[in-house]
Structures are given as C-alpha cells and as structure tokens.
Structure 1
C-alpha cells in the first residue's frame, strides 16, 4: 500500500514547513500556533500564554514572513503596543528566519 501526501493549494508545502519548524520552538511548546496566508505573507498566530499581551489568553500575532523576491525572505515581529509589524531580519532561505522565531531567546516573537 502506498501513501500519498495531500497538498491543498499553492504554498501549502511552505505552510507545513513553517509548522514543522515551530514544533522545535523553545517557548510555549504546549500551545498550537496557526499559520495563515494573509495579504501576501505568512502570518503566525498563537494563544498568548504569558498573558503579557492579552490578559485573557487570546490569540495574538507572533511573526510575519514575506517573500518580496524569489531569493529573499523577510521576517517581522509584532509590536503589540504600537500595533505594527517591525522588521527583524532578511535571508535567502526561510529556514534561517524560522530558527529565529523558534529560538527567540529575547522574547521578540513569543512575548
């Protein structure tokens, strides 16, 4: 019996790659982040476990990844106080940026 992967649309492989890397994160491993394609970028959202941003523990924006050119990825963190995205890094490969999100020693992405 052979197994076949099901891909539901363009970009689904990138979404799965992001989710797989998020499983390796060091912070809030007990919550399930979500990844959406929104306004030309990948948006990572997660329940707010620390309650620093949302006292009720609601879902908050964590990171935004966009690819303005085929060989360039940009990573943004959410400035929740200002209500805007703040550029953090650029790289040729998405994996380099996902490592920053997963490690997050300075609590830039997972406040």
Structure 2
C-alpha cells in the first residue's frame, strides 16, 4: 500500500462504485432503448452492462442480455470495450479508449447498433 495516496499497486482500481454510478448515469442519455434500465455490474477489472432485450432480436421473450463489457487495463490506462456476439456466444473487442467518457459516448450513440441490439 502506498501510504501517500492510499492505493495498493497490486489491486485494480476497477470496478469501483463511483465509476459504476458514473456509467449508470451516463447511459440514461443513450439513443437506443431508453425506456429500459441498464444494469451495470462490477467484474474483475471493469464492468458488465446488461439490459432487457426490448427488440426481441436476441431474446424473443425480452430477457436480460449482455450489452457490453468494459475492461480497464491499469498498466496502459486504456479502456477496452467489448461487444457480445450473441450468435457465437462470445465477447469481441470493439474498440479502445483513454477516457471513460469516450466509452459512454460510444455506448450512448451506438451508430453501428452493435451494443443495443
């Protein structure tokens, strides 16, 4: 533990409740499926975003589906954004970003409709 800044260099800074709430708040401005609440869960090194499937494209019964996985690489300070390939059942790297705000901007716009399907 570094006593000056209070951080254990061996532990990841993510997930943490402040950034989880920041993501949750930012996603309320998204362009797609604004009428459902996204669920943001902390996972090792980042966050999992899930949401009910309103389009019924992925889950015909409208169940909760994976939307995105965010992973923060503490060594490079880069955010890795993964999208779910629902047909194959695997996560695929979509993009990388230096700032969490750029990640939430991407998720909110979703111009290619790869997250909010």
Common fold by TM > 0.5: yes
> Which of 16, 19, 25 is the equivalent residue of 1:20?
25
> Which of 75, 82, 86 is the equivalent residue of 2:81?
75
- 2:99 matched to 1:93? yes
The count of aligned residue pairs is 102
Unaligned residue ranges in structure 2 (runs of 5+): 1-14
Q: Structure 1 stretches (4+) deviating beyond 6 angstroms?
A: none
Q: CA deviation at 1:40?
A: 3.0
Partner SS for 1:82? coil
Q: Distance in 2 between matches of 1:105 and 1:90?
A: 16
TM-score by length of 1: 0.87
Q: Distance in 1 between matches of 2:17 and 2:74?
A: 18
Q: CA deviation at 1:41?
A: 2.3
- 2:55 matched to 1:41? no
Name the counterpart of 2:35: 30
Unaligned residue ranges in structure 1 (runs of 5+): 1-9
Partner SS for 1:13? helix
TM-score by length of 2: 0.83
- 2:112 matched to 1:106? yes
